Chain A
């Protein structure tokens, strides 16, 4: 007597025809929720931590000023002198009146430098600022 191995007659394949559609859907999702990385950050910094934090709703209004550990200042894609901050920010303010300036500064920078930047911003009429900080848990 011969034994016949029992095998399921159904196919054991996962249908892959709709996989591209699923992946494209994922792609669409990512294209919608993210924004393009615009600049390379050239300075090293570690943000301070805070609790009373607010989110900036509209990313397109934000313009960044980076201040690194070594006190170098970066706006847009290049490192600049303190004296140039006012000129550059005034130009930005003219093209985008609702500008919010986000100050991404290292924890251990002196307030002297921050005050100087703030004075430059005040002269350039960029009055809405945001001290970038991480959420403290």
Chain B
């Protein structure tokens, strides 16, 4: 009589699979980064050699000169101002030029000394950008009833044309000795 041989169950042990997966997960957690890059964006002007530079006369009414010296003191159009006031000074001036054509919009020029601390420069640039952003928000609120970031692309272009962010970085001067 032939006995039917009992076939042993063919199973892969899965008890440790969870542990393995956790190990993989941990590896990915450690070796990757999630943080989103945040910062102040800016477009630099193209480099022009000093002997080919052409001076362009700009109507002084559309210029605002922000100067930061080595002690962190700020000069806005030749008046000494604290850093946090820059925004309030620039805002009404930007607003007054919303309805003018592009070649008459506000230009903000930012100039620093070589010994100025980076932190103060960023604070000043931040104030200038905030002024532009707030004017944009108010303009889009008045026209579309929404903030700039919630607009669709077409509307954003419209606001961008009305309030372009023009920040001019002054050409660095030769080092004085």
Residues of A that sit less than 8 Å from B by CB: 16-17, 19-20, 23-24, 26-27, 30-31, 33-37, 48-56, 59, 62, 102-103, 105-112, 114-115, 118-119, 121-123, 125-136
CB pair B42–A129 under 8 Å, yes or no, is yes
Residues of B that sit less than 8 Å from A by CB: 14, 17-18, 20-22, 24-25, 28-29, 31-34, 36-47, 112-119, 121-123, 125-126, 129-130, 132-133, 169, 172
User: Which residues of the partner chain B approach A59 to less than 8 Å between Cβ atoms?
Assistant: 37
CB pair B133–A119 under 8 Å, yes or no, is no
Of the listed residues A33, A102, A115, A136, the one surrounded by the most CB atoms of chain B closer than 10 A to its CB is A115
B18 to chain A, nearest CB (A): 4
A3 to chain B, nearest CB (A): 38
CB pair B41–A133 under 8 Å, yes or no, is no
Q: If A17-B14, A53-B38, A132-B38 touch, does A108 touch B117 (CB 8 Å cutoff)?
A: yes
User: Which residues of the partner chain A approach B117 to less than 8 Å between Cβ atoms?
Assistant: 107-111
User: Which residues of the partner chain B approach A135 to less than 8 Å between Cβ atoms?
Assistant: 38
A130 to chain B, nearest CB (A): 4
CB pair A23–B39 under 8 Å, yes or no, is no
CB pair B125–A131 under 8 Å, yes or no, is yes
Task: Label chain A's interface by main secondary structure.
Answer: mixed
List 19 additional contacts besides A52-B130, A115-B114, A132-B38; criterion CB under 8 Å: A23-B25, A24-B21, A27-B25, A34-B32, A35-B33, A36-B32, A37-B33, A48-B119, A53-B39, A56-B41, A103-B39, A107-B119, A110-B116, A119-B172, A122-B46, A127-B43, A127-B44, A131-B40, A136-B126
CB pair B28–A31 under 8 Å, yes or no, is yes
CB pair B126–A50 under 8 Å, yes or no, is yes
In the bound assembly, the distance between CA atoms of A56 and B35 in angstroms comes to 11
Q: If A34-B28, A111-B116 touch, does A50 touch B40 (CB 8 Å cutoff)?
A: yes
CB pair A27–B125 under 8 Å, yes or no, is no
Q: If A24-B21, A27-B24, A111-B116 touch, does A130 touch B39 (CB 8 Å cutoff)?
A: yes
In the bound assembly, the distance between CA atoms of A81 and B80 in angstroms comes to 37
In the bound assembly, the distance between CA atoms of A53 and B32 in angstroms comes to 24
> Pick the contact of B122 from A20, A50, A62 — CB < 8 Å?
A50
CB pair A111–B118 under 8 Å, yes or no, is yes
B115 to chain A, nearest CB (A): 6
User: Which residues of the partner chain B approach A103 to less than 8 Å between Cβ atoms?
Assistant: 39
CB pair A131–B39 under 8 Å, yes or no, is yes
28 A–B pairs (Cβ distance < 8 Å), ordered by A:
A17-B14, A20-B14, A23-B21, A27-B25, A34-B28, A34-B32, A36-B31, A37-B32, A37-B33, A48-B118, A50-B40, A50-B126, A52-B133, A53-B39, A54-B38, A55-B38, A109-B118, A110-B118, A111-B117, A111-B118, A119-B172, A123-B47, A125-B46, A128-B41, A130-B40, A131-B42, A133-B39, A133-B40
